[in-house]
Amino acid sequence: MGSGRLYTAVAAGGFRRYATYRAATAAGVFTNTAFGIILVYTYLALWDEKPHLGGYDQAQAVTYVWLGQCLYATLAIQGGGFEKDLMARIRTGEIAVDLYRPADLQLWWLASDVGRSLFQLLGRGVVPFVFGAVFFPMALPGEVTTWAAFAVALLLAMVVSFGIRYLAALSAFWLMDGMGVSQAVMITGVFFSGIVLPLNAFPGVLGDIVRVLPWAGQLQMPADVLMGKTDPLGAFAFQAVWAVALLAAGRLLQSAATRRVVVQGG
């Protein structure tokens, strides 16, 4: 009973921490909107050249762009969420304090990152999306059930995103310096999540591969659920399988890592 309240409090803390920086949030909204405009024009040109690319019409391609900008910070697609803090704590040894706490390490950071995600969604994601909907033709569903399914897909996407970055953060137990790993998170995240181009539009075998990797659960699945391009239950299953696999791997790695911790001076 108590633990539910604990993790809710941690999530609320994560939410409030990011909510503190209002000017930075406004700046993020501006930047995401600017990039959205640039991308929309390129996508419109691309779909002009090849209508129905990846099974999308123009309005759906436009929707995909603005959803991508909306979820860019929310899902920390190029990294930059909790994992930077966790890596720093591992490097400095502060992780020892975390391990003493009567809370589960993985759940603690998951709660904190979900709090951050929710703030980024509301504070940073909604405005560019609404801007896109006002100024460009978008394909948005009218039924409440579709939006509800989208919300579920989004929540699962947050967990998948966390799972990937948790594994990356734990690597600091062995590597100490997180620079290279952060870079890898960034490159793989940008390429495989479909922020550059919808994964549906990737050619041939490359397309078949990227569509089954965990990153497909981040942007592609919620987008397809929102636009009714896929069966929601199938999308949920795909995301849930990856979420569970990644969390389990994180747990395994965590137990291996914590056996290695040697606190300074001990």
Partner 1 sequence: MGERGTLLEGLRAFRLIAGMWIRSSMTYRTSFVVTMAGNLLMTGMDFVGILLMFSQVDSLGGWSLPEIAFLYGLSATAFGVADLVLGSMDVLGSRIRDGSFDTLLVRPVPVLAQIGADHFAVRRLGRITQGALVLGWALWSVEVDWDPVKVLLVPLMLVSGTVIFSAVFVAGAAFQIYAQDAAEVQNAFTYGGTTLLQYPPTVFGKDFVRGVTFVLPLAFVNWVPACHVLGRAYPLDLPGWAAFAPPLVALVCCALAGLAWRAGLGSYRSTGS
**Position 24 contacts partner 1 (CB under 8 A):** yes
Provide the CB-side half-sphere exposure for 190 (13 A, CA): 9
* Residue 143 token pair: 């039924």
The correct pick among 97, 151, 183, 231 for binding partner 1 (CB under 8 A) is 183
**Position 130 contacts partner 1 (CB under 8 A):** no
Closer by beta carbon to partner 1, 97 or else 184: 184
185-244 residues near partner 1, rule: CB under 8 A:
186-187, 190-191, 196-197, 201-203
Q: How big is the chain, counted in residues?
A: 266
Distance CA 226, CA 212 (A): 19
**Position 180 contacts partner 1 (CB under 8 A):** yes
DSSP 8-class letter at 55: G
Classify residue 42 as exposed, middle or buried by CB count within 10 Å of its CB (0-12, 13-18, 19+). Answer: exposed
Distance CA 2, CA 19 (A): 26
**Position 147 contacts partner 1 (CB under 8 A):** no
# residues contacting partner 1 (CB under 8 A): 35
In the complex, least distance from residue 69 CB atom to partner 1, rounded to whole angstroms: 12
Q: Is the separation of the CB atoms in 141 and 229 below 8 Å?
A: no
**Position 21 contacts partner 1 (CB under 8 A):** yes
Closer by beta carbon to partner 1, 5 or else 50: 50
* Residue 227 token pair: 């636009």
32-91 residues near partner 1, rule: CB under 8 A:
34-35, 37-38, 41-42, 44-46, 49-50, 53
| Strand, helix or coil for residue 51 | coil
**Residue numbers at the binding site for partner 1 (CB under 8 A):** 21-24, 26-28, 30-31, 34-35, 37-38, 41-42, 44-46, 49-50, 53, 177, 179-180, 183-184, 186-187, 190-191, 196-197, 201-203
